[in-house]
Structure 1
Amino acid sequence: MKKDFLILYELKNREIENAALLASELRKRGYSVGILYINAKDYFNEYRVVLTPNLANDNDMFFVLKSTKKAPKKIILMKQEQALSINEEKSGWGIPVGISKSVHTIAWGQSMVDRLKSAGINQSEIHKVGNIALDFNHRSFDQYFYSRELLAKKYKLDCKKHIHLFISSFSYCNLEKYYYNHLKKINKDTEKQVEIAEKSQKEILKWFGKIIKEHNDIIIIYRPHPAENISEGVYKMAEKFPNFVINKDFSIRQWIRIVDSISLWYSTSIADIAYCKKKCMILRPYEYPDD
């Protein structure tokens, strides 16, 4: 069967809402749309256009081309990771190379446009349209999200207590050995980033433990990064303190809307917090290098 668009997603709680919103708009305009996990295959349908969350090299390109019954006529790179460190930008991390440079690429802002152009990507294939995820912070989506009371009931939280959200970015903690070795090949700062992340996580967990001991009217929601392999220390906190809750359900925007306070270590979710007109605390027990 022939269809117009296929939207691939990688990390469900980061991307599935975006895919659904985009699919809804395309269907309104008369297009047929499919949504598929990036590691799955659809050999029953052929698509005119495939949108992929990430695309770095020829291997990624061939992977996308082989994901459907027939190779698409056009590929669009949504590029889900665009907020990078100075060193990551200098190294060219995440910039398409090889034949992947020929696809149409979404840029959230001028900085990414400039990076793509300096890498030799044709201006006509770069599209500055912003981050679709931020659309969910518009007032028109208020009825889309759970209320505080409904979400508290769903997870058996006492909504009369102060609910604090910690947005974790500790994706470099508790890495599988094979993935750690893979990261070292593409990012020379991996070892340093792992060290800072692991000791920062341990210290922040100590702070939360102290807060919960002294204030039983506070609930701390630990929101793991979508790519985080949750460490033993986090699980032990949840076992020890009933008011320390690990929850990776729904998008981060759902939780930002209903909590009383927010903290983070290093997260692009600060943009969602700002759009929701909320404040947050940045927890940095150890200095994080400027680069």
Structure 2
Amino acid sequence: MADIVIFYELPERELNNAYLLKAEFERRGYSVALKDYWNYHEIVFPIKKKPKLVIAHSGYDNKDLERFTARFRPKIDKMLNMRYEQVIAERILNSTLHYPREYLKHMSFICWSEHIKEEMMKQGIPEKNLAVTGDIKTDFSNELFDSFYKTKEELGKEFGLDYQKEWVLFISSFTFNEYDPDEFLIRLNNNLEDGKYMQKWDIETKKIFMDWVKKFLEDHPEKEFIYRPHPAENNVVTEDINMSALEEKYPNFHYIGKYAIQEWVRPCDYLNTCLSTSIIDVYLLKKQCNILRPVPLDPGFDNPLLLHADYIDSYEDFEKANTNKSDNPFPISDEDVEKYYYFGDKLAYEAICDYAEKMIADDSFKNDFYPSNPTFSRIKFIIKKSLAFPKGLPTVFKSAIKNKSSRKSAMEPGNKNAEKISKIIKGK
């Protein structure tokens, strides 16, 4: 087994980050294995050798923790949590839902800024277990990775976009639909009432926004419009049909989930979002971005980066913002960015690997991560799956036997990105 095991959940958000860490760890002499969180192979056939360090993409409580520990036959004792969601709405933070709980508090955690570190310390996490490194995703906006990305012409040829036209990008943050069960709404928010509020806002906002899009497509056939769904966007069958119908009706509309968001920020001429933290990628590339708010949002539910931003709330302003280049100040301030994102002398991936090496060398980072026996956890997971979602049980076993992800994804693991990133790291 590898020295270091890195888990990822949402490939579009995390896989390139995992490749980057892998390349740097290997440069430093470690062996590394990447594991898909939705691949159940190790749940049925657990890993027999204990790694020196396990890196988790996220996690909040014992239930999340056991999804990692159950994959190993020996007890693992050193874990680092990337905690990929750190810029969180006030209502959710006040509920402590997005802070680690129970045995998971024994992990070490990556913090994107000193402010976030201080908030984690208030939750009882020892300072020693908190590393302020910045957000690894922002590394890909550094000039070091310019050669990693496709050109506008290459993307145009791949997806049928006219690369000689101006491109308008919408970075979606719509993750709710009308069929979401109460358990899902509670899971993403601090209670059912808040969950239903966000569900209602999400659905109403998307409906009005899509009306804007249709009118814009009709008014401006000279522009290419790219709808980039959130990696966790819940595309029910009816929505897939609706998006396909739009693509069929409007040749200049493109619904594309493939590739990480940084791939699309670079070539696009006009950028838009409602709530996405990916606005930081736009900021770092020194491009303009429009914050769309056709429906007002309670500040307690808002992305804290966007609380003081200038919003667009009408089609007329939306059209103007996406047809006339502007030299207006960026809609969020440097001070708000620096509160949530640290940029030090090193890139984040280097600082993360430095801290990981410290953890590997220092046995004071060893901890107990076992609310229950690993074998019992595996059996419990399978029983719970069969009782709660019996139709999904075959999916678990199919994933386990074939050693493949159980989740359909727009960005499958592949060697091309890994090779490009490795080449960049080795050639520094």
- TM-score normalised by L of structure 1: 0.94
**Preserved contact between residue 137 and residue 272 of structure 1 (Cα < 8 Å):** yes
Partner amino acid, structure 2, of 1:201: K
Partner of 1:224: 229
SS of 2:16's equivalent in the other structure is helix
> Which one of the candidate residues 149, 152, 157 is aligned to 1:145?
149
- CA drift at 1:28: 0.3
Which whole-Å CA distance do the structure 2 matches of 1:68 and 1:253 have between them? 34
2:253 matched residue in structure 1: 244
Report Cα offsets for 1:6-55 as digits up to 9, x if no partner: 00000000000000001100100001111010133252553121111111
Two-structure CA RMSD over aligned residues (Å): 1.7
Q: Using the alignment, how far apart are the partners of 2:76 and 2:16 within structure 1?
A: 23
Match in the other structure for 2:211? 206
Q: Which moved more, 1:22-31 or 1:156-165?
A: 156-165
| Distance in 2 between residues matched to 1:221 and 1:167, nearest whole Å | 9
Residue 61 (structure 1) shift: 1.5
Residues 174 and 70 of structure 1: CA distance in aligned 2, closer, same or farther (over 3 Å): farther
2:160 aligned residue: 156
Q: Please say if residues 175 and 229 of structure 1, whose CA atoms lie closer than 8 Å, have aligned partners that are also in contact.
A: no
The structure that is helix-richer by fraction is 2
C-alpha contact 2:186 2:195 (8 A) present in aligned 1: no
The 1-side partners of 2:75 and 2:18 are apart by: 20
**Which structure has the larger Rg over C-alpha atoms?**
2
**Number of the residue aligned with 1:266:** 275
Q: CA deviation at 1:247?
A: 0.4
Matches within 5 A, 1:116-131: 116-131=120-135
Q: Is the 8 A contact 2:171 2:271 kept in 1?
A: yes
**SS class of match (2:299):** coil
> Does residue 103 of the first structure (1) align with residue 107 of the second (2)?
yes
Aligned counterparts of 2:191 and 2:74: Cα–Cα separation in 1: 34
For the Cα contact (< 8 Å) 2:92–2:189, is it kept in 1?
A: no
Per the TM alignment, residue 186 of structure 1 is displaced from its structure 2 partner at its CA by: 4.1
3-state SS of 2:5 partner: strand
**Structure 2 residue 17 is the aligned partner of structure 1 residue 8:** no
Residue 38 of structure 1 is matched in structure 2 by: 37
Aligned pairs for 1:61-210 (under 5 A) are 61-177=65-181, 180=184, 182-183=186-187, 186-188=190-192, 189-210=194-215
Task: Tell me how many residue pairs correspond in the alignment.
Answer: 290
Match status 1:20 vs 2:19: yes
Q: Distance in 1 between matches of 2:274 and 2:170?
A: 8
Q: Distance in 2 between matches of 1:289 and 1:203?
A: 18
Cα gap change, 1:265 to 1:221, in 2 (>3 Å): same
CA distance in 1, matches of 2:165, 2:73: 52
Ranked by relative contact order (alpha carbons within 8 Å, sequence separation 6 or more), the top structure is 2
Q: Percent identity?
A: 30
In structure 1, what residue type is equivalent to 2:34?
I
Work out whether 1:255 is the aligned partner of 2:264: yes
Deviation at 1:181, TM superposition (A): 5.0
Could you tell me which runs of 5 or more consecutive residues in structure 1 were left unpaired when the two chains were aligned: none
3-state DSSP class of the match of 1:17?
helix
Distance in 1 between the 2:211 and 2:189 partners? 33
1:68 shift after superposition: 2.8
* Alignment CA distance shift 1:153-1:4 (3 Å): same
* Secondary structure at 2:227 match in 1: strand
Q: CA deviation at 1:111?
A: 2.5
Give the residue type in structure 2 aligned to 1:271.
Answer: I
- Does the 8 A contact of 1:58 with 1:98 survive in 2? yes
Q: 1:117 to 1:138 in 2, by over 3 A?
A: same
For residue 266 of structure 2, give the secondary structure of its aligned residue in structure 1. helix
Partner AA of 1:31 in structure 2: Y
User: Aligned partners of 2:183 and 2:22: how far apart in 1?
Assistant: 32
Does the residue aligned with 1:47 lie in a helix, a strand or coil? Answer: coil
The one-letter code of the counterpart of 2:93 is E
Question: How many angstroms does 1:178 deviate by?
Answer: 6.2
**Counterpart contact for 1:184–1:191, Cα < 8 Å:** no
Tell me, yes or no, if structure 1 residue 47 matches structure 2 residue 51. Answer: yes
Q: Secondary structure at the match of 2:3?
A: strand
Q: Is the contact between residue 225 and residue 253 of structure 2 (CA under 8 Å) also seen in structure 1? A: yes
Q: Contact 1:88–1:187 at 8 Å: present in 2 too?
A: no
Match of 2:378 in 1: none
CA distance in 2, matches of 1:276, 1:174: 35
1:288 aligns to 2:297 (yes or no): yes
TM-score, normalising length: structure 2? 0.65
